Structure 1
Amino acid sequence: MADLQQSDKNAGTNGVLWALFRFSGRINREEYWWANAVLLGISLVTFRVVFGDSVEMTQDGQMHFPETLMPSFMLVLLASLYVTFAISVKRLHDLGWPGIVAAVFLFPAIGLFAFVVLGLLKGQNQSNKYGPAPPR
């Protein structure tokens, strides 16, 4: 199974799909930051394409969405959350921790701190129950 995960990971486009959508395996710190950068880019482009000029900023700095776009907004938000969890679970696996720890991302203040910490902690150098160590 670990060999399959490693071959999926190194297979070009399949590697990107694995990094963004699969919950199995491990990623190192560099891959974590790159995957989050890709997610941010995709999210910004999707937001612009889907919502265009229909989102307005109020004078007090809040975003205003027309009610008709709220289902689309929720769909984009849920997709982004799914990918965030997939990336984070693989990073947690690299540390030897279970993926359920990614639930901290549901709490904004803790989630932001956890996001940074996951990107800074060095993973385990040896294979663990989540797969072989990613290249460092």
Structure 2
Amino acid sequence: MAAQGQQTMPWLFFSPSGRLPRLPYFLGWLFWVAVSGFVLTRMFANEGNDIALALWTLILVVSGLVSTASIVMLTIKRLHDIGYPGPLAICLFIPVLSPVVFITLCLWPGKPEANEYGP
């Protein structure tokens, strides 16, 4: 985990190490939902322009891949905070289970004491 006070945006979105409390986890998801929503609105606004639509579609695909990787990293850190191993993040890819896992991770408080994943 990055040292206290040195946690950066790349660490937050793209590193699986460390722990992450509930609020930053939720805000990280909210950020990616906002990015996807913006790109989708640009796609709908450019339905009549084939070149612009193709460009926004490409941006949607790239942002979707980046956001998926980032959300997995956020989830791994959130699982670490509650004392579970990171590979359980695979539950986000099970369609019926995914919303339940997300809500659980947003509501379940982290362990206040240090664990094997950090303080």
Structure 1 counterpart of 2:10 = 17
Write the distance in 1 (CA, Å) between the matches of 2:20 and 2:75: 9
User: How high is the sequence identity, in percent, across the aligned residues?
Assistant: 25
> When the two structures are superposed, what TM-score results if normalisation uses the length of structure 1?
0.70
- Which of 21, 34, 40 is matched with 2:27 structurally? 34
Query: Are residue 118 (structure 1) and residue 105 (structure 2) matched?
Result: yes
Question: Contact between 1:36 and 1:84, CA under 8 Å: does it hold in 2?
Answer: yes
**Runs of 5+ unmatched residues, structure 1:** 57-65
- The alpha-carbon deviation at position 45 of structure 1 amounts to 2.7
Q: Residue 87 of structure 1 corresponds to which residue in structure 2?
A: 74
Equivalences for residues 52-63 of structure 1 within 5 A? 53-54=45-46
| Aligned residues of 2:39 and 2:59 also touching (Cα < 8 A) | no
The separation in 2 between residues aligned to 1:102 and 1:81, in whole angstroms, is 11
Residue 104 (str. 1) matches residue 91 (str. 2): yes
The residue identity in structure 2 corresponding to 1:53 is A
CA–CA separation in structure 1 for the residues paired with 2:84 and 2:22: 15
Moved over 4 A (4+): 66-72
Tell whether the 8 Å contact from 1:5 to 1:25 is kept in structure 2 after alignment.
no
The whole-number CA distance in structure 1 between the counterparts of 2:56 and 2:110 is 41
RMSD: 2.5
Checking the alignment, whether the CA contact within 8 Å between 2:19 and 2:118 is kept in structure 1 is yes
Runs of 5+ unmatched residues, structure 2: none
Report the Cα distance in structure 2 between the residues aligned to 1:68 and 1:42, rounded to whole angstroms: 15
